[in-house]
Amino acid sequence: MLPFQISYTTLLEWLGLLSAATFLISLLLIPFLISRASTDYFLIHATIVEQRHKRHPAIALLIKVIRNSLGYFLCLAGFIMLFLPGQGILTILIGVSLLDIPFRHKALNALIHRPALQHALNWIRQKTCHPPFNFPLK
Domain boundaries, position 109: 19-127
In a domain, 3, yes or no: no
Which residues contact residue 111 at a Cβ distance below 8 angstroms, ignoring those fewer than 6 apart?
A: 89, 92, 93, 96, 117
User: What CA–CA distances, in Å, run from 40 to 43, 100, 131, 135?
Assistant: 5, 19, 10, 7
Q: Which of 75, 76, 48, 77 is nearest to 63 (CA)?
A: 48
In a domain, 93, yes or no: yes
Q: Model-level pTM?
A: 0.59
In a domain, 39, yes or no: yes
pLDDT band at 23 (very low <50, low <70, confident <90, very high): confident
Which pLDDT score, from 0 to 100, does residue 123 have?
93
Domain count along the chain:
1
pLDDT at 80 over 60: yes
**E strand or H helix at 127:** helix 115-127
Query: Which is more confidently placed, 73 or 8?
Result: 73
Q: Considering the chain, what percentage of its residues have pLDDT values greater than 90?
A: 10
In a domain, 77, yes or no: yes
Largest CA distance in the chain: 62
Q: Which of 84, 81, 92 is nearest to 117 (CA)?
A: 92
In a domain, 132, yes or no: no
Which pLDDT score, from 0 to 100, does residue 13 have?
80
In a domain, 2, yes or no: no
Cβ distance 136 to 108 under 8 Å?
no
In a domain, 5, yes or no: no
In a domain, 90, yes or no: yes
